[in-house]
Structure 1
């Protein structure tokens, strides 16, 4: 299976065949909600796909922001990924421990930073382990590469853009949180946040897009799910969620079915639900 900018997914079979390819860099982007009480870095240290580097979305972020894992400045992003041996001519494969959960966030981050040759491992570490493929606790030591981030602003929305969209309704907003959190009947995993959703947004829980083995659902199933959620695939879409992670699962799915310019609201509900005075529906 060729890896191209129009193919944002690769299979475990493809990665197994390309583990030793000199141009392939593998990233473990595992991250979990605070309620999961899991330590992704410790799990990486215990076992990971050979050659994988750990990408900490809470550190490769704007750590001065009060909101979780907001996009970092391009200079910081470039510095961190250069040290991972990622640069010109590199093909990046991102995976996570849950199957398809946090890896799409890092896939989106690279695209925001102007790097397009990046794909997500379909099924992630969950499927890789189920198939009995090799694992290691050895940490690779790549040589630094040249990487220059060039921010692709159309893939990102901030609070001001989301407020403007309330007036113009130019973009459809799709929320990846659970139905209970969207409706405001289920508590948020982060304390102090209001309950509900951005007015006018639709709900498509990201878990509905993922099979039990951690792989994304088929093209036709994805199209049906977005259609059932009331999304017109011919019109612009912005995705949102709790903190900008599962929103990227929706963005990845949309890229697979033909909309690779989907924007993500970076602050998501961690920002909207924390800022006093913003309109909220429930």
Structure 2
């Protein structure tokens, strides 16, 4: 049996020590907004952690859904994850090249939501790995396909109707991971037809505010303090939202490290909420 990951985040030193573990699968889950002008596949082909495989978040999403990055049906996603080499007994470490835990937590959340808990995010990602002058490779490899048995945890996922009930009844806290400008409505949304602002009662915790300047995640005590400062009770149910369900997962990762145990993702996030004609929106 592979070693069990003690936390949802692992250090570069831990990964370096376990890189040749037979059951380990390492994935680069880098993804960027079009405005970033970056091509994650090309960057991966130039340099990645030796043995890592690129995991395309767009290819793993439900391609029939009207909004980006929608979670695919459990059996479909399980088949796609299995094709990448993730099986029931696989140890999984995911990272990205943003330096801020931008997109890797999304793959972490997807795998956990499908019932596989032996998965963690590499703290600081490829930026930290290269800063420490650890080896990288341009060699493109693949893992042997494996069988992934899905066990969908519906408690970790919210749709539009669930969010309507949450906003109208206040039964869960909502944490928005977008920039303050997008949260307030002073900054235009990057997608046409999406209103600016936030859900009534939402708390603002920008995804980049939970990491140090070097991209490493704050410790549990500091994270708890930051959520308290934002008015968030980590002992009560929390649903995270962002633009399309990517960076909200970075906040979910931080909440997990902080000790929160009742968290979920609004999968459609602001792209879905802000594009409806009848959903309440607060600005300012």
Q: TM-score, normalised by structure 2?
A: 0.96
TM-score, reference length from structure 1? 0.96
Q: CA deviation at 1:196?
A: 0.4
Partner deviation per Cα, 1:233-276 (whole Å, 9 max, x = no partner):
22111010111111111110111111143101000001011111
Q: Name 1:123's counterpart in structure 2.
A: 124
Find out whether 1:87 has 2:80 as its counterpart: no
Aligned Cα RMSD in Å? 1.3
Partners of 2:261 and 2:251 in 1: CA distance? 11
In structure 1, what is the equivalent of residue 277 of structure 2? 276
1:50 and 1:134 in contact (8 A); partners too: yes
- Tell me whether 1:97 sits opposite 2:97 in the alignment: yes
Residue equivalent to 1:241: 242
Determine helix, strand or coil for the equivalent of 1:71: coil
Tell me the CA shift for residue 75 of structure 1: 2.1
Residue 148 of structure 2 corresponds to which residue in structure 1? 147
Please give the alpha-carbon distance, in whole angstroms, between the structure 2 residues aligned to 1:33 and 1:140: 26
> Which residue pairs with 2:40 in the alignment?
40
Once the two structures are superposed, what CA deviation does each residue of 1:166-193 show, in whole Å capped at 9, x if it has no partner?
Answer: 2221100010111111010011122221
Q: By how many angstroms is 1:76 displaced?
A: 2.0
Runs of 5+ consecutive residues of structure 2 not aligned to the other structure:
none
Change (3 A) 1:235 1:264: same
* Number of equivalenced pairs: 281
Q: Secondary structure at the match of 1:25?
A: strand
Query: What does 1:157-168 correspond to in 2, within 5 Å?
Result: 157-168=158-169
Query: Which residue of 2 is the match for residue 254 of structure 1?
Result: 255
Q: Does 1:62 align with 2:62?
A: yes
4+ runs of 1 displaced by more than 2 Å? 2-6
* Counterparts of 1:128 and 1:95, CA distance in 2: 10
Q: Equivalents in 2 of 1:232, 1:50: separation in Å?
A: 40
